[in-house]
Structure 1
C-alpha cells in the first residue's frame, strides 16, 4: 500500500485519495490565510487601478468658487495618475455660460493641463427649469441670497466679458 502523508484518506476499498486540508479550530491560521488571499487579490488588481478612474467635471464653473477648488484637486490627482481627468463641462449657473467657459479655459491653462483636459461648453439656458421654478424651490428650501444665479443678471456680450482673475 502506498505511503500516506496525512492529507489523504483511505476509501473503504483501500484506495488512497486526496482530501482537502480543513483549517480546524485554529482561528489565527484562518485569519492569516484570509489576509494573504486578500493581499494577493489586491496585488493582482493593482495594475488595473494604476490607470485611474476616468473623471469628467460637470460644472457651472467659477474660478474662486467650489468648482475652481475641485479642479485644483482633480488636476493634482491627474498629475499623480490617480484619476484620468477627461474634461470639464460648463453650463450657465453661477455665471453665464461664456463667462464660466472663459474661466475654465484660463484655469486649465494656469494649471498646465490644457493639453490633456478639454473644456466643453454646454447649455446656456436651463433645459428643464426656468427662473420661476428656481424661485419656487428657493422659497421652499431657503437658499438665501448667495444662490442668485446668472439668470438674475443680464447676459454679457463678447465685448463685456470679465477677464478671469490672475
Structure 2
C-alpha cells in the first residue's frame, strides 16, 4: 500500500486487509479440515521478512500471517498436516510495480528470484518447517531484527532503512 495509515484512504487499508489477512484466514479454514480428515497435507501462507519491521500496515498484515501460521502449526501438530509461513525478502515479481513502489535505488544483492523462493519454500514444506526464509541474507536480517530491541526496529524504520515508505513512485 503506497500510503501512510494516518490520513490515508481507509478503503485502501480495508482492501489490503481483506487480501493479505482475511483471505489467508478463510482459505486456511476451508482447507485444514479436509486435510486433517485424510491425515496429510500442507498449508503454505505467504508472510514476509517485513513482518519483523514496522514500515507500514503491510508489516502488520504480514506479522499476522506469520503468527497465525505458527498458531495453525501448533494446532495441526500430530495430524499429518503442516503449516508453513514463507517469509521472503525482496523478490523479483510484479508486486512492486503493481503497488507503484519505486525500487530502482535498491541494490541487486537485495533481490531474490521467484523460482528460487518457490523451490526453497516447497523444500521447507516437505521437511515440515514452520517458518521458511529462503536466503541466507534474509535469514541473517530476520535474526538481527528479532534480536535487537523493538525500539531499535522502530528507529530503523523511521529512517527508511528497512521499509519502502520513502520510495513511493511520484506521478
Structure possessing the higher relative contact order (Cα contacts under 8 Å, 6 or more residues apart): 2
With normalisation by structure 1, the TM-score equals 0.32
With normalisation by structure 2, the TM-score equals 0.31
- Report which of the two structures shows the higher radius of gyration computed on alpha carbons: 1
